[in-house]
Structure 1
Amino acid sequence: MTGGWPGFVVAAIAVAVLLVDNLRTHRLRDVLTLGGLMATLTVTAAVSVLTASGQPLIGALVGAAAMFAFGLAHEFTRPGMLGFGTVKAAALVGAAAGGLGLHPWVSALGLMCAGYVALIKLAERRWTDMPTSPLLAAGLVGAVVSTLVVR
């Protein structure tokens, strides 16, 4: 499915900006997470309209909602571990990977889960000041690799 690539590129740029800002400030700011999510969904919607294919937009919406739900469930089961900035950023990654299809979305989710488990293990050793945006970037890379390998 080629329709999801423009939205993915927008999301990749947004995650790159989030990565730099997160490494500097140790925060994922709403203006970047929600702005990136809205830009990704807007571009994906425009491409879906122009190509007369709703599949990328539906995938992006479902992917964003599912990844947000995953992040929210994680935040409620381990309060304070991720923070709501990471939960919103997970929706951004879910939208980007979901617009590409199911395989990239599952790959992104798997890489992010592995990263979260590593983060939990580090936190148990009292190393809690670790930025989470590298995990999001790994999820996006996994989505690209999955798309290129599976197709």
Structure 2
Amino acid sequence: MSAVFALAVEVTAYGAFAVLSAVLTVIDLRTHRLPDRLVLPAYPVAAVLLTGAAFLRGDPARLLSVAGGAIVLFAFYLLLRMLRPGAMGGGDVKLAGVIGAFLGYLGWDAVLGGAIAGFVFGGLVAAVIVLARRARGANRLAFGPWMLLGAWTAILATAATAVS
């Protein structure tokens, strides 16, 4: 019975993350901002829901990869921001921790795969913009949507392998 409850909590957690992803994608594409009032509350929401799911699954050790994923992605994006301040926004850094938590729940393969996929998607979009000669010195790429697309690619790939 607790497996059913665990699944319900997981669906709730990832459903909330899906809604947040959609909202943040629209906002970032329009404004090049990821508002703190949306990103920061996602940390405690993820913590509560993913902790509940891990305990209901009887796998509290999974919380190490949740915390680890959040810390590693946050630190990595913070390092990128410090090395090249104009290349990465503060909202991207904060969002990276949230993404890391959700990917961490699924394991380190998901964390790595989601992070790499985000950079691949962002790089492809940047290349298309440059090739279309639409990029100018002042133009910036909203990176949040590509981070989120990378995360969802890893989430769905993990779910697909779990089902097969």
Q: TM-score range by the shorter chain?
A: 0.7 to 0.9
Say whether the 8 Å CA contact 1:11–1:92 is kept in structure 2.
Answer: no
Q: Which runs of no fewer than 5 residues in structure 2 stay unpaired?
A: 1-5
| In structure 2, distance between residues paired with 1:61 and 1:75 | 21
1:51 partner amino acid = R
Q: TM-score, normalised by structure 1?
A: 0.82
Partner residue in 2 for 1:94: 100
Computed over aligned residues only, the root mean square deviation of the Cα atoms, in angstroms, reads 2.6
> Deviation of residue 99 (structure 1)?
0.7
| Bigger mean CA deviation after superposition, 127-136 or 99-108 | 127-136
- The correspondence of residues 132-147 of structure 1 with structure 2, limited to 5 A, is 132-147=143-158
> Deviation of residue 115 (structure 1)?
4.0
> Deviation of residue 118 (structure 1)?
5.1
Is residue 26 from structure 1 mapped to residue 32 from structure 2 by the alignment?
A: yes
Say whether the 8 Å CA contact 1:63–1:95 is kept in structure 2.
Answer: yes
Is residue 74 from structure 1 mapped to residue 87 from structure 2 by the alignment?
A: no
Partner residue in 2 for 1:39: 45
Say whether the 8 Å CA contact 2:10–2:53 is kept in structure 1.
Answer: no
Q: TM-score, normalised by structure 2?
A: 0.77
Relative distance call for 1:22 and 1:80 in structure 2 (3 A) is same
| In structure 2, distance between residues paired with 1:106 and 1:83 | 21
Relative distance call for 1:96 and 1:102 in structure 2 (3 A) is same
Q: Which runs of no fewer than 5 residues in structure 1 stay unpaired?
A: none
1:67 partner amino acid = L
Partner residue in 2 for 1:63: 69
| In structure 2, distance between residues paired with 1:87 and 1:12 | 19
| In structure 2, distance between residues paired with 1:75 and 1:120 | 18
Partner residue in 1 for 2:142: 131
Say whether the 8 Å CA contact 1:63–1:91 is kept in structure 2.
Answer: yes
Greater relative contact order (CA < 8 Å, ≥ 6 in sequence): 1
Partner residue in 1 for 2:54: 48
| In structure 1, distance between residues paired with 2:14 and 2:63 | 11
Partner residue in 1 for 2:116: 110
| In structure 2, distance between residues paired with 1:91 and 1:67 | 6
| In structure 1, distance between residues paired with 2:20 and 2:61 | 22
Q: Choose 1 or 2 for highest CA Rg.
A: 2
| In structure 1, distance between residues paired with 2:30 and 2:62 | 33
Aligned length: 150
| In structure 1, distance between residues paired with 2:57 and 2:77 | 32
> Deviation of residue 68 (structure 1)?
0.3
